[in-house]
Structure 1
């Protein structure tokens, strides 16, 4: 491409509608309860995300393993016959394995984090219940001393 052609293409691009960044958000004029920006997630929502991450982990482990084994066998066969494609396929298989590990690690992290979050919230709920219950017992003691 010649320099003049490059300059012409740049000028044509500048004449077109400029690209703008647009942030997606909930439009303020569409109602709502005035709590814009609050994130509310229920136990069922977290459970569904955790289950999906766990299922993806299990399924992808099995299916990616089949693909890896088949690709390694094909790469070995091609290399053994002297085809350069064998080395290329071997390289792709190595990258596939690395990317698979990354995805599986992410799925495990999500699933485990949500499981720990659920356990932690249950523990917090039990603690809060204990504190509130002890306050109620304390209040009863004051009410009893007052004679009410």
Structure 2
């Protein structure tokens, strides 16, 4: 969208006139938001060989999962300390203590979802080659024609 078109849309919005935006061309960079100009999230160094998939699964298992878990434990300790500090000492505490505890509970659920996602991605990477190979074999068996010579 050109700058002039943007300015026109802004002025129409201020004046109360109906606005209409047209997207009639692809972005100059190829779109998609990826460095390669392809699909969103596409990367030029996508792991595609069985060895690369296994290495990626090992990286998740050996580094990403343990580091994420450690970070979550550190956050638990720090948050619990903050809740304790803001909590009731003389029968009255800060409202902040409850809010921090509630936010931390929500954050903990998100961390657990991330850990579950990492685990499923690791399993998918490890089984991808087997799944594809089994699909190829099954398709090959289904497509193969029976020959008269098979009985001999």
Matched, 1:74 2:72: no
TM-aligned CA deviation for residue 62 of structure 1: 1.1
TM-aligned CA deviation for residue 97 of structure 1: 0.6
Secondary structure (helix, strand or coil) at the match of 1:80 reads: coil
Matched, 1:45 2:52: yes
Could you tell me which residue of structure 2 aligns to residue 64 of structure 1?
72
- The count of aligned residue pairs is 107
Query: What RMSD over aligned residues (CA atoms) do the two structures have, in Å?
Result: 3.8
- Any idea what the Cα deviations from partners look like across 1:3-62, whole Å, max 9, x if unmatched? xxx951665x948xx474754355xxxxxxxxxxxx982123312332333221111011
Whole-Å separation in 2 of the counterparts to 1:104 and 1:93: 16
Q: Which runs of 5+ in 2 are unaligned?
A: 1-11, 39-45, 138-151
- The answer (yes or no) to whether the contact 1:68–1:96 under 8 Å persists in 2 is no
Q: Which runs of 5+ in 1 are unaligned?
A: 1-5, 27-38, 128-141, 143-148
Whole-Å separation in 2 of the counterparts to 1:47 and 1:104: 18
Whole-Å separation in 1 of the counterparts to 2:96 and 2:109: 20
Matched, 1:83 2:94: yes
- The answer (yes or no) to whether the contact 1:72–1:93 under 8 Å persists in 2 is no
Structure with greater contact order relative to length (CA < 8 Å, sep ≥ 6): 1
TM-aligned CA deviation for residue 123 of structure 1: 7.7
Task: Judging by fraction of residues, say which structure has more helix.
Answer: 1
Superposition pairs for residues 1-148 of structure 1, below 5 Å?
A: 8=14, 11=17, 14=19, 18=21, 20=23, 23-24=31-32, 25-26=37-38, 41-54=48-61, 55-81=63-89, 82-118=93-129, 120=130
Change (3 A) 1:14 1:102: same
Change (3 A) 1:115 1:40: closer
